[in-house]
Amino acid sequence: MVRSVMPGEFDAWVELWDGYNAFYGRHGPTALPSEITRTTWQRFFDAYEPLHCLIAERDGQLLGLAHYIFHRSTIQIAPTCYLQDLFTGVSARGRGVGRALIEAVYDRARSANCGRVYWHTHETNLQAMRLYETVAERSGFIVYRKAL
């Protein structure tokens, strides 16, 4: 089952969040500051924030998460949905959890009248890319960034 995360689920969510960050090398000395984790968590429950969190759950255990953001765009009038983070625990991979989370984000985006959902992944994330190729089209764009 996929649903919105609830305020009392911080400990279970942060376990997935830590797994996600470790997957991308943000652990140990390069871990995110706890202030970022706490602020991210609080934003999910602030009605004025465009950041949302869905979780996949089975038998009371959280298996995966999806964080998504609604924002404006210069190329369409309807809002856009950015799927910022998608993660499933190791034991849940290959069992349809990622697909269910993506489809739930699509449903939320449709309900918000979004014209598009998009996301990025690392070029080495081949297992996830096999799923992504079945649920979306690759845009061909390359991401550039500069830390400030």
Tens of pLDDT along the chain (148 residues) come to 999 999 999 999 999 999 999 988 888 877 889 999 999 999 999 999 999 999 999 999 999 999 999 999 999 999 999 999 999 998 899 899 999 999 999 999 999 999 999 999 999 999 999 999 999 999 988 889 898 9
Give me the CATH number covering residue 113.
Answer: 3.40.630.30
Strand 2-4 with 116-118, pairing: unpaired
Q: Please tell me the predicted confidence (pLDDT) of residue 27.
A: 83
pTM: 0.93
* Residue at 144 is within a domain: no
Domain of 66, in residue numbers: 2-135
Residues 10 and 25: their CA atoms lie apart, in Å, by 22
* Residue at 6 is within a domain: yes
* Residue at 49 is within a domain: yes
Q: How many CB atoms lie within 10 A of CB 84?
A: 14
* Residue at 62 is within a domain: yes
Q: Please tell me the predicted confidence (pLDDT) of residue 11.
A: 96
**SS3 helix, strand, coil % of the chain, rounded to 5?**
40, 25, 40
Q: Please tell me the predicted confidence (pLDDT) of residue 17.
A: 96
* Residue at 84 is within a domain: yes
Residues 41 and 143: their CA atoms lie apart, in Å, by 26
* Residue at 145 is within a domain: no
* Residue at 48 is within a domain: yes
If one counts the domains in the chain, the total is 1
* Residue at 146 is within a domain: no
